[in-house]
Amino acid sequence: MSWVDVVDESTRNLTHPTRPPRPTYIPPHLRHTYSNAVSHLNYDHPSSFNFPTHPTPSRPRFNPNEHGRSSRTRGGGRGRNSFLGGPNPNSFDIADKFEKIEVTEDDQCNGNAINFDAYEDIPVEASGSDIPKPVSSFVEIDLCEALQQNIKRCNYVKPTPIQRHAIPIAIAGRDLMACAQTGSGKTAAFCFPIICGIMRDRLKLVGPGGGMVKVAYPTALILSPTRELSCQIHDEANKFAHRTGVRIVVAYGGASIGQQFHNLEKGVDLLVATPGRLVDMIERGRVSLKMIKYLALDEADRMLDMGFEHQIRKIVEQMDMPPPGARQTMLFSATFPDEIQRLASDFLSDYIFLTVGKVGSSIDLIAQRVEFVQDMDKRSHLLNLLCSQNPNRTREKVSVLSDCLNNMNLWFLATEKFWFLFHAPLCNEGPSLTLVFVETKRGADALEHWLLMKGFPAIAIHGDKVQRERERALKSFKRGATPILVATDVASRGLDIPRVAHVINFDLPKAIDDYVHRIGRTGRAGNSGLATAFFSDKNLPLAKPLVELMKEAKQEVPSWLSEYAENSPGGGRGQGSRYGHSNKFGGYDFRRSSIPSSAVGYSEYYGVNSSTQAADNSATAHGEFYAVDYNTEYCSTQAADNSATAHGEFYAVDYNTEYYALPANSDAYPYLNVGSVVASGWD
Ligand SMILES: Nc1ncnc2c1ncn2[C@@H]1O[C@H](COP(=O)(O)OP(=O)(O)OP(=O)(O)O)[C@@H](O)[C@H]1O
């Protein structure tokens, strides 16, 4: 139950929920360290490279101290209703921040001017064998002419980093697991190679799906977790495939299956689908996957977590889809926990793992604020925030006017009346948009209703709404007619909505990955954004990963939050945290944890493949790895407790050197033996 539900309940009962007791202090566990070892760019090296990390130039970033106030004291001076009561310890003039946010609009294809220079300095790592070299322009890539034309039409002047690296890999036919920041252009990174591949195959293949047929045989399949995201990918892919002859169909639940069958009957090369609807279509015998040559999973970690894994396995492993190796598989997300990587590797063959940017984040471009707000104060705090988004607007004005309108039973007029107030100063062309995340569907409805009553133009989207309502809400939000969207996690992934200037985590999610995706709805395509989170006692498990994430993004961490992080039980990786051994958020090739050296931040290694997992615990490394510090901890993928400890240094292993694993949990003393066997503490 979210706080909104609590508020509803409590107002009804005229009681207030009691504040949960403070947790007892538990010292933070030792954080793993990882070196930021930087290797030389080495394209001659046949199978792995690590791109240099450049110093990050300073970007304008929100600094709460500039505003002369601090949110550092936990709850200090916090009133039950800070609007009516005393000063709010977290209050700040958000209007100042909005002035600093750069959101521009000038584009033919996607409605947003792009500032991809912002991504120029981000680190890129790739691992796997024989990695194709990245490119620096689209023309360098062997894409078909029509596709090149469409890329220009879309105003894509140059590839984003993920596109520079991922597209050549995919065009070379390699399987890929790619992790890149939210809003950094992953959709095109998998769409271009797929469309190009379909066009090439066309010349060679004539599938059974020509003309009006009852069973559709797509050659490419893109799966995504939500209906809205599938529609968005479909729209994007259609733009890229303009005049190429590639036929793209979308299939998702909640809409007429008859219409979707009809679309399929007209022919389909690329099917974009949500898993549930696709299973339905396959089971009705209307779609066959036996011609699939390209498979892409967007938001792949979400697709393989508990909610979807069963369906995905059914589609990929139990229907008639060709196996890994016979098809090309690409997995993309902004977050890739180890456990999910392990599951995902079942679907891949000799794949390349690519990570672009501060993995699992979008963050340098997003100013993050965390404010301590007790559940009962959240609504009034939200109102303060929304009011302060426009410097000319005072909460009193809104309150008086909306009370007035409410009394006259004219709340629907209020929406109209206050709409103009959301034309925030940051952009002249349209209103800035605010996305408010809540925990429950009921909470979303309640908050939408309450905001409307208060005169704020809000609309809710969540999984209990019928599809038409969901689409209407999103459309209204996108065009700015209703510039506040109250959403559950249904809107947290993938949606690319220009002009979302502010994401408010009214209720924080349980897992830090979800936080990363939520805040990634702003700060997209190189633009900056603002994310505000309301943190309350019940978010304690999230404190530590949140602090780590904010530090990694060079954000100001309130001291009260650091204190919470230290008191966080079990080191506070967060409820639902799925991180393994690394401080890096989300994107770390789990195969590396089989190799001691890589587990401590080594940048070059290769030849790690499925043989590392061989039953006899043997592996063959084809490459260099070296220099493990004394007492460095590293994890073993095969150890029961995923841990092992290396004491010592070893380095300089020649190509084709064989090394063997000791049993789990052994303290190993690796020794230097150039060109020969190295025993080390992994199994
Ligand atoms: N090379 C490019 N040049 C200009 N704009 C681009 C380029 N590539 C992508 N874009 C635009 O950047 C925006 C973000 O892209 P996209 O939605 O693919 O990001 P994403 O990485 O998939 O984000 P998320 O992780 O949230 O799903 C889109 O509006 C897209 O049209």
pLDDT above 90: residue 608: no
Residue 508's alpha-carbon distances to 3, 225, 394, in angstroms, are 11, 21, 27
Ligand 1 geometric centre to CA of 116 (Å): 10
Residue-wise pLDDT for 274-292, tens only, equals 999 999 999 999 999 999 9
- For the CA of 232, the nearest atom of ligand 1: 17
Give the mean model confidence (pLDDT) for residues 628-646: 27
Q: Where are the beta strands (DSSP E) in 282-412?
A: 294-298, 328-333, 352-356, 366-372
Ligand 1 geometric centre to CA of 105 (Å): 15
CB–CB of 172/149 below 8 Å?
Answer: no
Ligand 1 geometric centre to CA of 198 (Å): 22
Residue-wise pLDDT for 99-118, tens only, equals 443 333 333 444 344 566 65
Residue 112 in contact with ligand 1 by CB distance below 6 A: yes
* ipTM given for this complex: 0.99
SS3 content of the chain, % helix, strand, coil (to 5): 35, 15, 50
Nearest-CA residue for ligand 1 atom 30 is 185
Which of 186, 302, 500 to mutate for ligand 1's pocket (most ligand atoms within 8 Å of CB)? 186
Ligand 1 geometric centre to CA of 193 (Å): 15
Take residue 561 and report the two structure tokens written for it. Answer: 């939050």
422: closest CA among 450, 459, 449?
459
pLDDT of the residue at 192:
98
Residue 260's alpha-carbon distances to 223, 226, 248, 252, 472, in angstroms, are 16, 16, 11, 8, 20
Residue-wise pLDDT for 562-581, tens only, equals 999 988 764 433 333 433 33
Distance (Å, whole) CA 14 – CA 652: 71
DSSP alpha helices (H): ranges in 186-248?
Answer: 186-204, 227-240
Which of 136, 493, 524, 585 to mutate for ligand 1's pocket (most ligand atoms within 8 Å of CB)? 524
Residue 524 in contact with ligand 1 by CB distance below 6 A: yes
Give the mean model confidence (pLDDT) for residues 127-151: 94
- For the CA of 362, the nearest atom of ligand 1: 25
Ligand 1 geometric centre to CA of 186 (Å): 6
pLDDT above 90: residue 264: yes
Which of 156, 358, 513 to mutate for ligand 1's pocket (most ligand atoms within 8 Å of CB)? 156
Ligand 1 geometric centre to CA of 498 (Å): 11
Distance (Å, whole) CA 627 – CA 208: 56
Residue-wise pLDDT for 479-525, tens only, equals 999 999 999 999 999 999 989 999 999 999 999 999 999 999 998 87
Percent of the chain with pLDDT over 70: 57
Q: What SS3 class is residue 460?
A: strand
- For the CA of 111, the nearest atom of ligand 1: 29
β-pairing verdict for 294-298 and 678-680? unpaired
Distance (Å, whole) CA 148 – CA 145: 5
Long-range pairs for 77-80: beta carbons < 8 A, 24 or more residues apart? 78/372, 78/373, 78/374, 78/377, 79/377, 80/374, 80/376, 80/377
154: closest CA among 240, 229, 238?
240
Residue 115 in contact with ligand 1 by CB distance below 6 A: no
Distance (Å, whole) CA 676 – CA 655: 10
What DSSP state is assigned to residue 134? Answer: P
Residue-wise pLDDT for 390-433, tens only, equals 644 444 444 444 444 444 444 444 444 344 344 433 334 567 89
| Count of all residues that appear for the chain in the document | 683
pLDDT band for position 339 (cuts 50, 70, 90): confident
Take residue 163 and report the two structure tokens written for it. Answer: 């596109």
Nearest-CA residue for ligand 1 atom 29 is 110
